[in-house]
Structure 1
Amino acid sequence: MKTYNFIDIFAGCGGLSEGFKKNGAFNMLAAVEWEKPQVENLINRLSTKWGYSDATEKVMRFDIQRTEELFNGWDNDHEYGAHNGLDKLVGERTVDLIIGGPPCQAYSMAGRIRDNKGMREDYRNYLFESYLSVVRRYQPKLFVFENVPGMLSARPGGQQYVTDLIRKDIEASGYSIINDLKGFAQLDLSEYGVPQKRKRVIIIGLRNDLFLNAQEVLEEFYKVGLPKYKEQTKTVKDAIKDLPKLYPLTKITKVKGKKYSHTIHNNEGVYNHIPRYHSERDIEIFQLLTLDIEKGEYKYTSSEELKKLYTQMTGKVSNVHKYHVLRWENPSNTIPAHLYKDGLRHIHPDSNQARSITVREAARLQTFDDDYEFISSAGDNYKMIGNAVPPRFSEKLAEALIPILN
């Protein structure tokens, strides 16, 4: 089997590269990520699952904006230690593709709503420039640039659309992307076996000197090559129904100084299936909302009713509704990085359990295999899972790219 060498930029905990590794035709030369928990998890995964004995060297924890040091190495940095650099890791080998996507908060609609400047001044708007610096350095046959649909309407600094800036930089780097990004590159990942409503922009860049008919190749990829891997929609029930049930306790329990409001099972090899602590008030709200659906009454399905309930139960006022119960027979709503702060919009559909989803349930809705053990704090685990590309989709993406690489 022919193998293809790739570099993963903004690697996170490895959701995108996980799918490429599962394909079997791809070899990771290096991964770059700046957040420590994500790096630790990716190193652990590459070591324990994929047998990389050099994972601690291969996964580089560094700020990609410091591109010259990234390429050539750095010494005794107070935050990032020391490393020989990306050039040494790549060596004389050909880089066939580069994959990744800058942090999406600066492009997301939710991020713009929360930021009083609409994220216009957020430095993350410009991380694509660092990504393309790596592309220009190693001249892969193609690259994969993943992000949220909000990037298509983002205007950093209130001036040009970010897609115009990106396209200009890409073309100046000697690559082509599809002319109509909105028409072709916006994908619904629930069509690819991901049990979750998750729309993403997947931009494929082709090196001009290798693809003289780049637009034709790209249209074929988006119209035929990738869509042939679509499958029947998966639901919340498909994803999490078989996991051990976690019921509210009759009284709060402390274990090693930590409070628990729900049962903790010996999960028989299912990692990370431990519920958050919930107050009695929240448990009451969860039971009310889930029973409303189970009984078919649907009193609390509108935003207005959910906002009223929030005010009634907490005495606070919110402009957006805080609660959402997952539906057994539908895909989940999007699993976001924001899940690390609270789980009120990801309430388990079983009224008897009356809780938000666990790290393992979030991971399953993101299509991580159960043998991916997340080794950081629960908050960090939720965040990295929410930021990840679902491995089931990335595996299909990898398969669909092979004919182009060939």
Structure 2
Amino acid sequence: MLNIIDLFSGAGGLTEGFRKDDFNLLAHVEMDEAASKTLKVRDAYYYLKENGDLNRYNDYINKKISYDEFLTEIPEKIIGKVINLAISEGNLQEIFKQIDSQPNSNKVHGIIGGPPCQAYSTIGRARNKKIKESDERIYLYKYYLRFLEKYNPDFFVFENVKGLLSFKDLDGNSLLEKIKFDFTNAVSTGHYHIQIKLINCTDFGVPQVRERLIIFGYKTSMRDFDFFRNLDQFQEKPPIIKELFQDLPILKSGEIKNEYSKVPPSEYVSINLRTSKLPLTQNICRPNNENDLKIYRIVAKEKKKNRNVKYSDLPIELITHKKSNIFLDRFKAINGNGYSHTVVAHIAKDGHYYIHPDVSQNRSITVREAARIQTFPDDFYFESSRTSAFKQIGNAVPPHFSKIISQNILENLYTITE
């Protein structure tokens, strides 16, 4: 059993891939309250599933019992794994203390996670240029180092955005090179081999064009392991969006419909996402004003012709923003005959960039549809509001890709070191 610590957990997309018999999740560390509640609910789900009783979970997601009532009968050793604290200098010792109180914490095999990426993203750095000198998010990776130094794990997985490849520190030098140097020399008792690659999750069964930078490290005392060469053996073709959504109900803007359609799910959904013993949940769509719906209809129709509509090209009576010459791609439909563009946290603010491909439905995607694009299984429940759920989904690592990461580590790193 390999003991794992999950840092900057979010809703637990990266965590989800390590929820298998060969791994023991010692702790999740997450500052956001809603995401921490999501993690507790998910931990409770797996506890109940392991004990062969999902009736209580069913009652909760069907709103028959409250959040507090649901967790009442879940052991503290299960929900106590979630540490709802910001990773900071002031909280570090308390976080260590809580992790060390967990059974089997004397040996940590792996650390997974990635700090918030807004400071590194190309859009984020432009917005935050004025506060760069005081933006502490840039150096959150240094706290990651503190965990490596304390727990001396065999390996770690650090995930972040493509923008980190080109991000410059305050001195004008590459921050990634500094991170690589620091990670290589993180542990006083030895060093780490560091491997870095930009990965498109589409190549690994995720129905979304999502490029992410993966930094993988493992101890130099272990035998050679090419993480990314071995990862390639797990490549698979994802379903197109039309197939991904085919068993979900038809609905209009502002509607909620938590019943599967009569159309059978695709093979991918049957194997990876749908749970027969639990109902559909959180299939909730935002309401829209009539002006936006007229725009949605135009944008979705044009997308079927493989064309994206610029805001400035809309009929003049539909243009309500004074600065029509900027943010020209503010409205975008998902390609039903292909893969989605990247789902990001901005989806929590509006659905204009994620218009449903079916023109007749004329709406943005639901929470559940966004979760499917990110490959969260249908039995995954997000706390505590629609907005919060969208944010958690947009920030997550796709669980399907995470499963591949964990399987690669399990089958190759530990197999070759035995």
Question: 1:371/1:206 Cα in 2 relative to 1: closer, same or farther (>3 Å)?
Answer: same
Alpha-carbon distance between aligned partners in 1 of 2:255 and 2:28, rounded to the nearest angstrom: 38
Quote the offset at 1:49 in angstroms: 2.8
Q: Which of 326, 339, 343 is the matching residue for 1:331?
A: 339
How high is the TM-score relative to the length of structure 1? 0.84
Q: Does 1:292 align with 2:306?
A: no
Alpha-carbon distance between aligned partners in 2 of 1:108 and 1:14, rounded to the nearest angstrom: 21
Question: 1:154/1:94 Cα in 2 relative to 1: closer, same or farther (>3 Å)?
Answer: same
Whichever residue aligns with residue 152 of structure 1, its letter is L
Residue 101 (structure 2) aligns with: 88
Query: What 5-or-longer segments of structure 2 have no aligned partner?
Result: 49-73, 261-278
Contact 1:43 1:59 in 2 (8 A): yes
Quote the offset at 1:170 in angstroms: 1.2
Quote the offset at 1:389 in angstroms: 0.5
Quote the offset at 1:28 in angstroms: 0.3
Alignment: residue pair count: 364
Quote the offset at 1:167 in angstroms: 1.6
Moved more, 7-16 or 55-64: 55-64
The 5-angstrom pairing of residues 111-126 of structure 1 reads 111-117=124-130, 119=132, 121-126=134-139
Quote the offset at 1:122 in angstroms: 2.0
Whichever residue aligns with residue 36 of structure 1, its letter is E
Alpha-carbon distance between aligned partners in 2 of 1:339 and 1:158, rounded to the nearest angstrom: 34
Query: What 5-or-longer segments of structure 1 have no aligned partner?
Result: 75-83, 248-260
Alpha-carbon distance between aligned partners in 2 of 1:108 and 1:73, rounded to the nearest angstrom: 28
Alpha-carbon distance between aligned partners in 2 of 1:35 and 1:231, rounded to the nearest angstrom: 33
Residues 313-353 of structure 1 deviation map (CA, whole Å, 9 limit, x = unaligned): 23322422201111111110000011101111110011111
Alpha-carbon distance between aligned partners in 1 of 2:315 and 2:407, rounded to the nearest angstrom: 46
The 5-angstrom pairing of residues 125-140 of structure 1 reads 125-140=138-153
Question: 1:278/1:59 Cα in 2 relative to 1: closer, same or farther (>3 Å)?
Answer: same
Residues 205-249 of structure 1 deviation map (CA, whole Å, 9 limit, x = unaligned): 1123x23x6xx52xx2212x11100001332112223211112xx
Q: Which of 400, 405, 412 is the matching residue for 1:397?
A: 405
Whichever residue aligns with residue 39 of structure 1, its letter is S
Contact 2:120 2:164 in 1 (8 A): yes
Question: 1:153/1:121 Cα in 2 relative to 1: closer, same or farther (>3 Å)?
Answer: farther
Question: 1:152/1:311 Cα in 2 relative to 1: closer, same or farther (>3 Å)?
Answer: farther
The 5-angstrom pairing of residues 114-193 of structure 1 reads 114-117=127-130, 119=132, 121-157=134-170, 159-174=172-187, 175-178=191-194, 181=196, 185-193=197-205
Residues 236-294 of structure 1 deviation map (CA, whole Å, 9 limit, x = unaligned): 112223211112xxxxxxxxxxxxx5433242521111110100111111112222344
Alpha-carbon distance between aligned partners in 1 of 2:100 and 2:25, rounded to the nearest angstrom: 14
Residue 49 (structure 1) aligns with: 46
Local SS of the residue matching 1:156: coil
Alpha-carbon distance between aligned partners in 1 of 2:314 and 2:131, rounded to the nearest angstrom: 29
Q: Does 1:200 align with 2:216?
A: no
Alpha-carbon distance between aligned partners in 2 of 1:86 and 1:128, rounded to the nearest angstrom: 19
Q: Does 1:65 align with 2:65?
A: no
Question: 1:73/1:193 Cα in 2 relative to 1: closer, same or farther (>3 Å)?
Answer: closer
Alpha-carbon distance between aligned partners in 1 of 2:288 and 2:94, rounded to the nearest angstrom: 48
Q: Which of 119, 137, 154 is the matching residue for 1:106?
A: 119
Alpha-carbon distance between aligned partners in 2 of 1:121 and 1:377, rounded to the nearest angstrom: 31
Residue 242 (structure 1) aligns with: 247
Local SS of the residue matching 2:217: strand
Q: Does 1:345 align with 2:353?
A: yes
Residue 32 (structure 2) aligns with: 35
Moved more, 310-319 or 328-337: 310-319
Alpha-carbon distance between aligned partners in 1 of 2:175 and 2:317, rounded to the nearest angstrom: 42
Whichever residue aligns with residue 287 of structure 1, its letter is R
Alpha-carbon distance between aligned partners in 2 of 1:88 and 1:98, rounded to the nearest angstrom: 17
Contact 1:95 1:140 in 2 (8 A): yes
Whichever residue aligns with residue 41 of structure 1, its letter is T
Contact 2:255 2:286 in 1 (8 A): no
Alpha-carbon distance between aligned partners in 2 of 1:101 and 1:278, rounded to the nearest angstrom: 34
CA RMSD for the aligned pairs?
Answer: 2.2
Local SS of the residue matching 2:170: helix
Contact 2:355 2:365 in 1 (8 A): yes
Local SS of the residue matching 1:143: strand
Alpha-carbon distance between aligned partners in 2 of 1:173 and 1:264, rounded to the nearest angstrom: 49
How high is the TM-score relative to the length of structure 2? 0.82
Quote the offset at 1:158 in angstroms: 5.0
Local SS of the residue matching 1:20: coil
Residues 106-132 of structure 1 deviation map (CA, whole Å, 9 limit, x = unaligned): 111121233343856421110000011
Whichever residue aligns with residue 63 of structure 1, its letter is A
Question: 1:46/1:241 Cα in 2 relative to 1: closer, same or farther (>3 Å)?
Answer: same
Residue 16 (structure 1) aligns with: 14
Percent same amino acid at aligned positions? Answer: 35
Residue 283 (structure 1) aligns with: 293
Residue 7 (structure 1) aligns with: 5
Contact 2:347 2:390 in 1 (8 A): yes
Quote the offset at 1:73 in angstroms: 5.8
Residue 315 (structure 1) aligns with: 320
Residue 390 (structure 2) aligns with: 382
Contact 1:176 1:207 in 2 (8 A): yes
Q: Does 1:263 align with 2:279?
A: no
Moved more, 234-243 or 345-354: 234-243
Moved more, 36-45 or 237-246: 237-246
Alpha-carbon distance between aligned partners in 2 of 1:266 and 1:92, rounded to the nearest angstrom: 40
Alpha-carbon distance between aligned partners in 1 of 2:127 and 2:161, rounded to the nearest angstrom: 16
